[in-house]
Amino acid sequence: MMYESYYRFTKPPFRLVADPSMLFVSESAREGLSRLEYAVRDGKGIAVMTGEVGTGKTTLVNRYLDQARPGLRTAYIFNPTLSGEQLLRALADELGLGSQATSKGELARALYEHLLHERGAGRRTVLFVDEAQALPLETLEELRLLTNLETRHEKLLHIVLVGQPELLATLESHALRQLRQRVELFIQVEPMSGSETGLYIAHRLRVANPSRPVNFTSDACQLIHRIARGVPRDINKVCDASLLIAFVEETGTVTTRHVREAVRTIDGQGVSLRLRGVRFLGPWQRLWIGASAVAAAAALMLAVDTGRHGTSLPGSPAPQAAAVAPGTGAPSANAERILVHLASFHERAQAEAFARRALLPPGRKLYLQSAEDQEARWVRVFLGDFADAREAGDFARVALEERRFAYATAVRVPGRALETWEER
């Protein structure tokens, strides 16, 4: 990057790779590492680590692997398309087994003998499986069978499944109830708080070791937190683009103006970012509403899927009164509802499992929406109904701050597309 030479960084400060040397140990990361260490030290059979996209799960795993204590043998598998037998062979390769087994049974036997030898030598073996939410059911069942490799006193193989929140819904399915019963520890990786976002940015700059002064103002850090909602990957995207804007102006101080301009650039390239309370409009929109309206425009930029299902609301004017069904005094079925989007899943069973677990505030309902786009089929979960955009936006903000939900965004959705959730 051009700005890296200008500021004389010794390494890229905001590159989108899971570099453990750049890890900022937030409260959530510290707890995650501690629980990971506990899972291995205490000999847990299966542990599950989940977190939203970009929250740093893989970086945490890489840090743990880099600092693994003596007497620990680790295997790391990140291909979620493997079949059950392919998983066994990948595990054998990771452990340096070099087995010539031709059948699945022979391979399992070779793994058992190897693990038994390692434990006899005082070494534990841990398997990390990344992107586990995408594993086929057959492969997940094979993982369960691997936990049968044990002595009379302890497990020979400890497994850590790492994935997005959809993994939790998958584990709740009837077909995987035996696997779910063997999960002994759950680890949740959460986004960073506002104060942690500022410390994270300063940490990344410090580790990148610039020889020319460079910093983000406090207001810029707060705005970046609102955009990225504490998700490290999105923070990196915004900071990277902001530094480029600052470099063009030959300044070492990144302000909110640089951040705003950077987000316009990123959004124009189709990068998914979320901003509660401020919307950066495209050129055609700015021309249409006039320059004076641009300064006050406010809404929400959503992630790839959420941008398709409805109109985002936070900060925008309250919508006009909904159409009323003749003679009823109630909103018609086609009227737009003001809701909060909580989650999206590829499978209805996953959405229903999420809905069953959700703790609803008094007087609120859950809705499901099934939809398809050019890339995938989605089943989305919404919470409603809200009187106006402000009420929905305030609820979403408090829900995220209090960690009631991992994701919450106010939206406007046509009523005809919704199905009221009722547990069956």
What is the DSSP track for 19-65?
A: -GGG----HHHHHHHHHHHHHHHTT-SEEEEEE-TTSSHHHHHHHHH
Q: Which residues pair with 77 in a beta bridge?
A: 129
- Angle, CA of 84, 87 and 93, to the nearest 5°: 150
The pLDDT of residue 99: 65
The one-character DSSP state at 417 is G
266 pLDDT higher than 50? yes
For residue 227, what are the contacts with CB-CB under 8 A and spacing of at least 6?
A: 234, 238, 259, 263, 273, 274, 275, 301
**Mean pLDDT of the 236-263 span:** 92
pLDDT, the chain, mean: 80
pTM of the complete model:
0.63
**Mean pLDDT of the 139-147 span:** 89
| Half-sphere CA count of 408, side-chain side, radius 13 A | 20
Q: Give residue 96's region: left, alpha or beta (phi > 0; psi -120 to 50).
A: left
417 pLDDT higher than 90? no
56 pLDDT higher than 60? yes
| Reported confidence tier of residue 197, pLDDT bands at 50, 70, 90 | very high
| Reported confidence tier of residue 104, pLDDT bands at 50, 70, 90 | confident
Q: Which residue, among 74, 86, 77, has the nearest Cα to 139 in the 3D structure?
A: 86
| Reported confidence tier of residue 30, pLDDT bands at 50, 70, 90 | very high
The pLDDT of residue 127: 93
277 pLDDT higher than 50? no
Q: What percent of the chain has pLDDT over 70?
A: 81
202 pLDDT higher than 70? yes
For residue 284, what are the contacts with CB-CB under 8 A and spacing of at least 6?
A: none
Query: Is 139 in contact with 131 (CB distance < 8 Å)?
Result: no
